[in-house]
């Protein structure tokens, strides 16, 4: 174990790597660090012997000539999550002797990819698991894919008449399509349309909840919520149906108090509040059959099991128990039937199943270049000062003073340069000396217990930035938009101690395209312990838990577009325990340009004409002209990200 020590000289082992990167804490049982220091995927945590080594996946992707960055989907993980939530509800409903059934739906806005939706519908079929849509395009997809007559189709969001008409088409097709009323005028339009078409709708009412939720979406509850009906509006809506002889159409009560709910208390309170409204509506004579508790089931992105915005202080079992027992308690007290339970969990079902693999393509170090600092007689005093400090730093007693002096002289040097007092070359030397001094100051403070406050940021200032071949705006938009923590880890090499601390930057021309919030050793850190970039092969990083929202909300910043996708199934008989079932090509340059109204074919013709003219004028040889023409066309049809294998 001699060489297996980290920067601080501690010994290193896989359990150390686990402590630093917290893979088991956020991995939901699907990911762990194997004994060989590679990340392993366990597609079905109940059979831990079937495991897929990320290194084998990367090797196969390279063999197939698929360019990085790639999105990897583990279909087994997606299926396991669907089974997981359904089986947990079954188990708790059984042991609570609860009289209703569980009929979950998957809200497709969380990840609308057809393959994802198909897999969820297929895995959920034995449980009559349904789908939820919140817009017309989503509804059109759901009508075509949710064909099980027993499964629910829940329609949320604001609706026009066409939307309602599509819902009634679903009723004509024999489906349990529930139109959830978000505002009173929608009910008027639905009642009118269903009378004209002679089709009985199924109506749900979304309640504005009084409970204050927590987390980033706390605005989804309270009287300023964007969606839902107040108590007075719920009563008015119920009476309106009654007055139109559509008393029996009211079947469902819905609430959704926000996504990624960090605190179980908000869920308990909301379940209680909704159960009371449900019971009252039953007392008023409406035969409601379902209570829909919405989404919000959280994911422990940071692995802290806390009420941090990127975490949650409960497990799936506890969540389900609170929903089932919470409803039962109120219903038994009020002497009303136990309603069937609907959830709209999206994040919890899809987050784990996909991740992004990117390559580190470069390092940006603060002291990346050094120039010769041999002193000259006519050097400026500032340069002389720094040179002296550098010479005798070993004899210094007071490193804080060294830091202060060096920093002050460097600032003065920048000013002096602007006033033409020192030359560019002198400024370069000062920079070189400054960072050499800072490295020594850092080495000193690593050995002592007390580090003065101003020096605590020294580690960050001296850390490198690793340049990664991806766009945060495409692949991790919540990390940029709402400071969501997404776990990022090296995929191999974790049997050795990390060699340096780094933050990450992407390849967009945007200073915001960076990640400098990580959970390291259970604490927030602005740098991630990393490995040197090997000379002979790329260094691969995995960004995990991107299956919910990140996969589909990305934008076209810098025209990078969608990533190549690799869909993986586990297969016990295979030596590597997996096979690639499908490859979905990411965006090509001509595709992203077309989206922005360019005409790539015409562009290729125009550039060819320009090259031909240079050939005609004798500035380019004909053979070279053909090469340039081919090269331009080849780039137009190529991948938008950096090519690293050419």
Show the site string, 143-182: x = touches ligand PLP by CB under 6 A, - = not.
-------------x--------------------------
Site of tokens 């504005």: 208
Establish if 249 lies at the interface with ligand PLP (CB under 6 A): no
- Residue 297 touching ligand PLP (CB under 6 A): yes
Minimum CB–partner distance for residue 109 and ligand PLP (Å) = 6
> Which CB atom, from 55 or from 347, has the smaller least distance to ligand PLP?
347
Residue 398 DSSP SS3: coil
Measured from the CB atom, the residue of 259 and 304 that comes closer to ligand PLP is 259
CB closer to ligand PLP, 267 vs 530: 267
Give the Cα separation of 176 and 168 in Å (integer): 10
Distance between CA atoms of 475 and 34, rounded to whole angstroms? 26
Distance CA 243, CA 165 (A): 22
Residue 295 Cβ, how far from ligand PLP at the closest point, in Å? 2
For ligand PLP, the binding residues in 76-115 under the rule CB under 6 A are 107, 109-110
The residue (of 40 and 347) whose beta carbon lies closer to ligand PLP is 347
DSSP string of 231-256?
HHHHHHHHHHHHHTT-GGGEEEEE--
Taking contact as CB under 6 A, which single stretch among the options 243-251, 293-301, 368-376, 492-500 is the one that binds ligand PLP? 293-301
Residue from 119, 66, 91 nearest 569 by CA: 119
26/301 Cα distance (integer angstroms): 6
Residue 263 interacts with ligand PLP (CB under 6 A)?
Answer: no
What is the closest distance, in whole angstroms, from the C-beta atom of residue 347 to ligand PLP in the complex? 3
Closest approach of ligand PLP to the CB of residue 254, in Å: 8
256 binds ligand PLP, rule: CB under 6 A: yes
User: 344, 431, 506, 551: which one contacts ligand PLP (CB under 6 A)?
Assistant: 344
Q: Between residues 16 and 309, which has the closer beta carbon with respect to ligand PLP?
A: 309
Which CB atom, from 37 or from 296, has the smaller least distance to ligand PLP? 296
The residue (of 110 and 253) whose beta carbon lies closer to ligand PLP is: 110
Which of 261, 278, 276, 274 has its CA nearest to residue 319? 261
347 binds ligand PLP (CB under 6 A): yes
Sort strands 152-155 and 130-133 into parallel, antiparallel or unpaired.
parallel
Least spacing, CB of residue 294 vs ligand PLP, in Å: 5
Question: Does residue 479 interact with ligand PLP by CB under 6 A?
Answer: no
Phi/psi of residue 154, nearest 5 degrees? -105, 130
Position 346 contacts ligand PLP (CB under 6 A): yes
Q: Which is nearer to ligand PLP, 349 or 527 (CB)?
A: 349
Q: Which of 299, 436, 281 lies closest to 372 in space, CA to CA?
A: 436
Cα–Cα dist 534/546, whole Å: 27
Residue 295 or 625 having the CB closest to ligand PLP: 295
**Contact residue for ligand PLP among 81, 345, 546, 629 (CB under 6 A):** 345
Q: How far is the CB of 259 from ligand PLP (least distance, A)?
A: 3
Q: Which of 260, 263, 258, 241 is nearest to 250 (CA)?
A: 241
DSSP 526: S
Span from 86-94, 289-297, 403-411, 550-558 in contact with ligand PLP (CB under 6 A)? 289-297
41 DSSP 8-state letter: E
Does position 124 interact with ligand PLP (CB under 6 A)? The reply is: no
429 near ligand PLP, rule: CB under 6 A: no
Beta strands, E only, 522-642: 523-525, 528-530, 539-543, 564-570, 578-584
Of 296, 339, 529, 561, the residue at the interface with ligand PLP (CB under 6 A) is: 296
CB of 264 to ligand PLP, least distance (A): 14
Structure token pair of residue 288: 């409601």
Work out how close the CB of 308 gets to ligand PLP at its nearest, in angstroms, rounded to a whole number. 16
CA 379 to chain centre: 53
* 460 vs 352: CA distance, rounded Å: 30
Q: How far apart are CA 33 and CA 542, in angstroms?
A: 13
Select from 34, 228, 262, 295 the one that contacts ligand PLP (CB under 6 A). Answer: 295
The rounded distance, in Å, linking the Cα atoms of 68 and 88 is 37
Which token pair is 576? Answer: 């590597």
> For residue 69, is the peptide bond before it cis, meaning its omega torsion is within 30 degrees of 0?
yes
C-beta closer to ligand PLP: residue 106 or 278: 106
Report helix, strand or coil for 263. Answer: coil
Shortest distance (Å) from residue 331 CB to ligand PLP: 23
Could you count the other beta carbons within 10 Å of the beta carbon of residue 510? Answer: 15
259 near ligand PLP, rule: CB under 6 A: yes
Q: Which is nearer to ligand PLP, 201 or 296 (CB)?
A: 296
Structure tokens of 341? Answer: 């339970």
Contact flag: residue 294 with ligand PLP (CB under 6 A): yes
| Residue with smaller CB distance to ligand PLP, 351 or 642 | 351
3-class DSSP assignment, residue 359 = strand
DSSP code for 435: H
Q: Which residue is nearest to ligand PLP (CB)?
A: 295
Q: Which stretch binds ligand PLP (CB under 6 A): 314-322, 342-350, 445-453, 580-588?
A: 342-350
Query: How many residues at the interface with ligand PLP, by CB under 6 A?
Result: 16
In order of 9, 14, 397, the CA distances from 498 in angstroms are: 11, 12, 31
186 counts as binding ligand PLP under rule CB under 6 A: no
490 binds ligand PLP (CB under 6 A): no
3-state secondary structure of 421: coil
Q: Which residues sit at the interface with ligand PLP, rule CB under 6 A?
A: 107, 109-110, 134, 156, 256, 259-260, 294-297, 344-347
């Amino acid at each position: 174990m001699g060489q297996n020590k980290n920067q601080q000289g501690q010994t290193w082992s896989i359990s150390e790597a686990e402590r630093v990167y917290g893979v088991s804490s956020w991995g939901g049982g699907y990911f762990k660090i194997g004994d060989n220091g590679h990340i392993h995927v366990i597609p079905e945590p109940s059979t831990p012997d079937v495991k897929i080594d990320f290194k084998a996946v990367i090797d196969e992707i390279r063999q197939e000539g698929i360019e990085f960055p790639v999105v990897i989907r583990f279909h087994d993980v997606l299926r396991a999550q669907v089974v997981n939530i359904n089986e947990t509800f079954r188990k708790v409903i059984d042991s609570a002797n609860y009289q209703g059934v569980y009929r979950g739906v998957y809200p497709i806005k969380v990840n609308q990819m057809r393959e994802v939706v198909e897999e969820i519908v297929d895995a959920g079929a034995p449980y009559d698991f349904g789908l939820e849509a919140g817009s017309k395009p989503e509804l059109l997809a759901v009508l075509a894919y949710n064909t099980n007559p027993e499964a629910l189709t829940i329609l949320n969001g604001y609706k026009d008449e066409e939307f309602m008409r599509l819902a009634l088409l679903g009723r004509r097709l024999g489906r349990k399509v529930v139109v959830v009323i978000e505002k009173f005028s929608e009910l008027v339009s639905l009642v009118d349309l269903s009378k004209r078409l002679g089709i009985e709708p199924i109506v749900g009412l979304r309640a504005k909840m009084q409970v204050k939720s927590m987390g980033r979406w706390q605005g989804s509850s309270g009287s300023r919520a964007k969606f839902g009906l107040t108590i007075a509006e719920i009563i008015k809506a119920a009476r309106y149906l009654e007055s139109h002889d559509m008393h029996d159409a009211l079947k469902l009560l819905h609430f959704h108090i926000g996504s990624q709910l960090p605190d179980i208390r908000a869920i308990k309170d909301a379940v209680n509040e909704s159960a009371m409204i449900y019971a009252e509506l039953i007392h008023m004579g409406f035969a409601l059959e379902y209570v829909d508790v919405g989404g919000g089931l959280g994911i422990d992105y940071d692995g802290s099991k806390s009420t941090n915005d990127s975490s949650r202080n409960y497990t799936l079992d506890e969540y389900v128990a609170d929903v089932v027992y919470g409803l039962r308690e109120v219903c038994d007290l009020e002497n009303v039937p136990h309603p069937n339970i609907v959830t709209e969990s999206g994040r919890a079902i899809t987050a784990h199943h996909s991740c992004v693999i990117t390559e580190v393509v470069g390092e940006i170090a603060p002291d990346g270049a050094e120039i010769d600092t041999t002193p000259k007689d006519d050097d400026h005093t500032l340069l002389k000062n720094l040179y002296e400090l550098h010479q005798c730093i070993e004899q210094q007693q007071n490193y804080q003073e060294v830091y202060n002096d060096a920093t002050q002289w460097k600032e003065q040097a920048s000013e002096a340069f602007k006033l033409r007092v020192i030359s560019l070359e002198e400024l370069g030397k000062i920079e070189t000396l400054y960072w050499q001094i800072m490295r020594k100051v850092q080495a000193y403070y690593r050995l002592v217990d007390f580090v003065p406050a101003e020096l605590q940021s020294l580690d960050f200032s001296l850390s490198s930035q690793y340049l990664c071949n991806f766009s945060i705006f495409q692949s991790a938009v919540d990390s940029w938009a709402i400071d969501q923590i997404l776990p990022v880890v090296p995929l191999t090499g974790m049997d050795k101690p990390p060699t340096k601390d780094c933050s990450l930057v992407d390849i967009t021309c945007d200073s915001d395209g960076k990640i400098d919030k990580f959970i390291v050793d259970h604490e927030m850190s602005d740098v991630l312990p990393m490995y040197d970039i090997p000379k002979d092969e790329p260094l691969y990083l995995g960004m995990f838990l991107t299956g919910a929202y990140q996969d589909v909300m990305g934008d076209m910043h810098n025209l990078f577009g969608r990533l190549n996708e690799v869909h993986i199934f586990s297969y016990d008989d295979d030596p590597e325990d997996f096979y690639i079932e499908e490859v979905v090509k990411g965006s090509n340059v001509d595709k992203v340009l077309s989206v922005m109204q360019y005409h790539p074919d015409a562009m290729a013709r125009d550039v060819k004409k320009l090259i031909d003219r240079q050939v005609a004028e004798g500035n380019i040889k004909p053979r070279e002209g053909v090469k340039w023409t081919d090269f331009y066309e080849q780039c137009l049809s190529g991948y938008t990200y950096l090519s690293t294998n050419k």
